[in-house]
Amino acid sequence: MALKGFSMYSAFPLVRQFIPGTTASSLNEARLASIEFGGEVHAYCVAYLPQEFDEMMTCATHITFNSIRQYEQFKPRLQANPKKISAAIRINPEFSEVETDLYNPCIPGSRLGMTADKFGATLPEGIEGLHSHTLCEKDSYALERTFEAIEQNFSHLLKQIKWLNLGGGHLLTKIGYDHDHLIGMIKNIYDKYPNIEEIILEPGSAFAWQTGYLVSTVLDIIESGGKEIAVLDSSISAHMPDCIEMPYIASIIGAKISDEGNYTYKVGGLTCLAGDQMGPYVFEKPLLMGDTIVFEDMMHYTMVKTTTFNGVNLPNIGIWKEDNTFQLVKSFGYEEYKSRL
Ligand SMILES: Cc1ncc(COP(=O)(O)O)c(C=O)c1O
C-alpha cells in the first residue's frame, strides 16, 4: 500500500492482514511504515536528503532512486550498510494513459524516472530492480499496454533485474476490475523473464476507494447571480484540496452533480478564496441553515493532502531579523506528521 494515498495508521492492523508491506515516499512515511505496519518497506523518493538517508536505510527493505545520479550519490552508504537493502531505479517509459497532466508522470519535461536514452547497455552496478509508475485509477488492460511500452524501450534491462515494481494506480477494488486478467498478465511476465523473482504492485487509492465521509453543516445560503450557494463549515480548499487540483466534484449523499433541477446549489467553503466552492448539485429538497452535508469518498488522497502530503515535512517557521539573525520558532518532524493522522 502506497502511504502517500492513504496513511491512516489506525487502519493498518486491518490492511496488514492482506498485504506484505508498504511504499513510503519520505522518511516520515518510511518510519510510520516500519513502526506501525512492519513487513517490507519500499522507499521511493523523488530525491533523498543526505541527512535522512541513514535512518531511511534502517526503515526500508527496498530503495528506489529517481535518477542514476542519486543512486551514485548514496551507493557508498548503501554498500557500507550492514543491512542488505535492494536498490532500484525508477524508469520513465514515456507512455501513460493518464488524462490529467497533474497526475501524469510521463508528460514531456517530467522529473519522475529516467527515460531509456539515459541508460547504457547494462544497469549500474548494484541495481537489482526497476520501478515504473504511470497509472492513476486504471485497470489491468492499461497496465498491459504500459508493460508493452516498457518492453519496447527497456527489454534489455528487464533481463537484468531481480524485481520489477509496477507502481500504483491499479484500481483493484473498483467493481469490474478484471483480477484474472491481471494475474494472467503477471504470470506471463514471470514466464518471459525468468530472472525476475518478484513483481510488486503498490496501489494507494485502491485500499480506500469509495470510503470515508466528510460531514459538514450549512451555515448560510447566499443568492448570487441568480444562483444559490450553501456556505458550509468546511472548505474545499482547506479540506478537499484535491477537488480543486484535479479538478473534480466530490459526491454528496442525497444530491446529484447537475445544474438541472428545482433545488440547485453550489457549496462554498469558509475560506476567503473565491474559488473555494464546488458544484452545482441538485438536492431533493431546499437546503436550510443547519442542514448536514455529507461528502463521500473522502479517504484516499483527500485525507493525506490535509494532513501531510507524501509525509514531506512542512517548512520551518522562523523570524529573520533586521540584524540578520534567524530565530527558529518551529520545525516539523515525525511526531508532528504522525499526530496529524
Ligand atoms: C510512485 C508511486 N507509487 C504508488 C502510487 C500510488 O498510486 P495510487 O494511489 O493511484 O494507486 C503513487 C501515486 O502517486 C506513486 O507516485
Question: pLDDT at residue 165 above 90?
Answer: yes
Segment 40-49, tens digit of pLDDT: 999 999 999 9
Percentage of the chain lying above the pLDDT 70 cut: 100
Q: What is the mean pLDDT of residues 275-292?
A: 97
Segment 197-225, tens digit of pLDDT: 999 999 999 999 999 999 999 999 999 99
Task: For ligand 1, say whether the CB of 204 is within 6 Å of any of its atoms.
Answer: yes
311 Cα to the center of ligand 1, angstroms: 14
Q: What is the largest CA-CA distance in the chain?
A: 69
Q: Helix 179-192 vs helix 140-158: angle between axes, to the nearest 10 degrees? A: 10
51 Cα to the center of ligand 1, angstroms: 25
Question: pLDDT at residue 258 above 90?
Answer: yes
Chain mean position to CA 3: 7
The CA distance from 341 to 337, in Å, is: 7
Task: For ligand 1, say whether the CB of 169 is within 6 Å of any of its atoms.
Answer: yes
Which three cell numbers mark 10?
489506525
303 Cα to the center of ligand 1, angstroms: 15
322 Cα to the center of ligand 1, angstroms: 44
Mean pLDDT of the chain: 97
* Pocket-testing residue among 63, 202, 301, ligand 1, by greatest number of atoms within 8 A of Cβ: 202
pLDDT for the residue 1: 98
pLDDT for the residue 127: 98
Placement of cell 482547506 in the chain: 238
139 Cα to the center of ligand 1, angstroms: 14
Task: For ligand 1, say whether the CB of 57 is within 6 Å of any of its atoms.
Answer: no
126 Cα to the center of ligand 1, angstroms: 25
Question: pLDDT at residue 246 above 90?
Answer: no
Task: For ligand 1, say whether the CB of 31 is within 6 Å of any of its atoms.
Answer: no
Question: pLDDT at residue 145 above 90?
Answer: yes
pTM exceeding 0.85: yes
Q: Write the DSSP string, 180-214.
A: HHHHHHHHHHHHH-TT--EEE---SHHHHTT--EE
* Pocket-testing residue among 4, 104, 209, ligand 1, by greatest number of atoms within 8 A of Cβ: 4
Question: pLDDT at residue 247 above 90?
Answer: no
